[in-house]
Amino acid sequence: MKAAREPFFRLAITAIIVYLVINYWNTATRGIFILLRVASPLIAGFIIAYILNIFMTFFERTLLKKVKFKRFFSILLSILFVLLVLTFVILLIIPEISSSIKVIGKGLLALIEKSKNFVQLHPELEQFIPEELAFTSEAFDWQNLSSQVLNFLRSGAMSNVASIVSSVFSGLLNTVLGIIFAIYLLASKERLLHQVDKVCSSYLKPQAQQSLTYVTETANNSFHSFIVGQCTEAIILGLLCTIGMLILQFPYALMIGILVGCTALIPIAGAYIGTIVGAIMILTVSPVQALFFIIFLLILQQIEGQLIYPRVVGTTIGLPGIWVLASVVVGGGLFGVLGILFGIPLCSTVYTLIKTDIHKREAAKVFTTEKADTDTQ
């Protein structure tokens, strides 16, 4: 009797949950966003710990295998390594981008001045120029325009100075708390995993615990493989870009190669971002070389997309190319940059779970069919 009522109870609970979700959706989403904002340092700490754990495990298994306090030194080396890479990239790229923007600004002003002089020499062209771009108009005062822009920026900055300082302080505080939480997670990784296992074994049935373990292991393998594969692919692409630019004698070869490698960490769209920024940098030296650089990098990206990426990243996550593109588009549309970064491994996890479940169901059907055939014989 109890077994007969169980489906009705499940149906009633499902109907109640659907009703609550529909009627209190705004309240629920607002509460979820508040919870995520409050827990953002812990979430950031977990992400930092997960990434650092890859380097920490490598150091523990190789360089610090026989060191007494290998956990402490491996955490320290992992943090120093990541900070060193970030510092190197920032110090190398940011100043060059800033100088390139200044050169482009000066070149743009010079181009405008040349265009103005050309129009003055050919008054018949004035009728084809929109009023917004009327270089010959005496009312178009560049000095006045720049003063207005500066005053607008100053007034905006002064009115929002409190919110800017608050946001910066909050971001720094969350970052520091996240790093501290990440170090705690790494230092007591085994003990925390043991505690989670004890909680699951105490409150979950053996079959549910086994399913949960399988899901978490699959997700861990997908995210680990994606991070390692994406970093490897970015290094390869950055090296190939640098070597090709040195051979073709493009300016800023080392800097743009590192930039392209760093932006390649963003799936699919990252290399194009590096192409645009690199072309702008080379444009300050030679427009012709900037055009040839775009052609060179488009060819390199085709080689990378057809040969390198499927073998380095695609095989490690076991996700077909169509689902890689779909996960990037959907993840980016829903959650921005974080959705682009974590959409692929998350989609790979779901894809692997569904594929494994389908194989199990197909094997069960074959076994049932064979058993039925055997019984009839």
The chain-wide mean pLDDT, for the chain, equals 77
Largest CA distance in the chain: 101
Q: What is the pLDDT of residue 283?
A: 79
Residue 322 has pLDDT above 80, yes or no: no
CB 327 within 8 A of CB 269: no
Q: How many CA atoms lie within 13 A of 283 on its CB side?
A: 18
Look at the chain and count its residues. 377
Against a cut of 0.75, is the pTM above it? no
d(Cα 164, Cα 120) in Å, to the nearest integer? 46
Residue 78 has pLDDT above 50, yes or no: yes
Question: pLDDT band at residue 136, thresholds of 50, 70 and 90?
Answer: very low
d(Cα 123, Cα 140) in Å, to the nearest integer? 17
110 or 149, which is more confident?
110
Helix runs in 248-312, H state only: 253-263, 270-283, 287-303, 309
Q: What is the pLDDT of residue 12?
A: 79
* 267, two tokens: 């799936």
Q: Which of 147-156, 190-199, 243-252 shows the lowest mean pLDDT across its residues? A: 147-156
Q: What is the pLDDT of residue 91?
A: 78
pLDDT per position as a tens digit, 237-250: 888 999 999 999 88
Residue 227 has pLDDT above 70, yes or no: yes
251: helix, coil or strand?
Answer: coil
Give burial (CB, 10 Å; 0-12/13-18/19+) of 174. Answer: middle
Q: Which of 108-117, 177-186, 278-287, 327-336 shows the lowest mean pLDDT across its residues? A: 108-117
